[in-house]
Amino acid sequence: MYALIGIAAVFAAVFGGYLLESGSLYVLFQPAELLIVGGAAAGIVMVANPPAVMLRMFRGCVAAFRPPTRTPRVFLRYMRMLYEIFSFIQRAGIMEFEDDVEDPAKSRIFSNHPEFLKDLPTRDFVCDSLRMLVVGLTTPSDLDQLMELDIEVQRKGQQEPIAALHAVADALPGLGIVAAVLGVVITMQSIGGPPDAIGQKVAAALVGTFLGILLCYGVVSPIASRCEKLADTEAQLLHVLRIAMVAFARGASPILAVEYARRSVPVELRPSFLDMEITIKREAKIPAAAKPNIPEVPDAPALPA
């Protein structure tokens, strides 16, 4: 919402000031200049990026105008979920959790967190990491490095569309100059004509430069910066989950492992210890451990008198 308000404020300030100076909006309406700048920018994106990156770029631009999805409440819910997992493993044993990581949708714990099941990258990150603990083929140090590698790969994938947006922003002023030069060429062809016609062509040429600079510094570059901040928050969430799982794998109690995670949350998103304690006490749902299947021992035959 704030991004949309900010973009609206940019255009309101620019065009409002232009109108206060007795400018005419009709002069700024130059479809040809917009076609040159916008069409060339779209072509640059298509040349420089594969379709997958362009799709992520589009999704990132849409997400930039939506409310942030990683709020303190979300961090708190995920830490509560980890507490439930750790407490269940501590109570029932790590092998009892195998079915949960193999089929999260039918898990006794994950099914209570539908937002987690819908968040596929985070779900796969948590389940794949816990699977390594279930199979017992990794040490806490190896698990830490494995999750750090996963976070780095995901961060790189998120940075590709952001870098493409920054490249487009850097190219827009140059494309505005291209549009202005073409307008000057058209103007030079009209030298000797009516002064009004020449003035209109010069104005149209300058609009191309105006569009390139405005779209660069007022639209594309801020959107790219916001997408970068959203990507950093996504990586931070994975980092918080990693801290908790590694702490538990090293022998920390469930509440201490979750506290490790809480301390690693950025200050502006970090819930208080009191909030975390209240949430765990009131909302945590830990499944009961399955009873061991012990065969019944037949009664001993009675001894003869």
Rounded distance between C-alpha atoms, residue 102 and residue 172, angstroms: 48
Q: Report whether pLDDT(2) > 80.
A: no
Q: Is residue 195 part of a domain?
A: yes
By the 8 A CB rule, do 57 and 49 touch? yes
| Average pLDDT in the chain | 87
pLDDT for the residue numbered 197: 77
Between the ranges 126-140, 241-255, 291-305, where is the mean pLDDT highest? Answer: 241-255
Two tokens at 43? Answer: 């072509």
Whether 172 maps to a domain, the answer reads yes
Backbone angles phi, psi at 214, to 5 degrees: -65, -45
CA pair distance 214, 191, nearest whole angstrom: 29
In angstroms, the CA 238 to CA 127 distance is 12
pLDDT at 254: 92
Q: What average pLDDT does this structure show over 21-29?
A: 83
Tens-digit pLDDT profile for residues 153-195:
999 988 999 999 999 999 999 999 998 888 888 888 777 777 7
pLDDT (tens digit per residue) in 43-101: 999 998 899 999 999 998 888 888 888 888 999 999 999 999 999 998 888 888 888 88
**Overall number of domains in the chain:** 1
pTM assigned to the model: 0.82
Tell how far CA 163 is from the center of its chain.
15
Any domain includes 228? yes
Q: Report if residue 16 sits inside a domain.
A: no
Domain-embedded: residue 71: no
Query: Quick check: is 10 in a domain?
Result: no
Give domain status of residue 239, yes or no.
yes
Q: Is residue 59 part of a domain?
A: yes
| Domain around 131 | 36-65+99-283
CA dihedral 249, 250, 252, 253 (to 10 degrees): 30
pLDDT attached to residue 153: 92
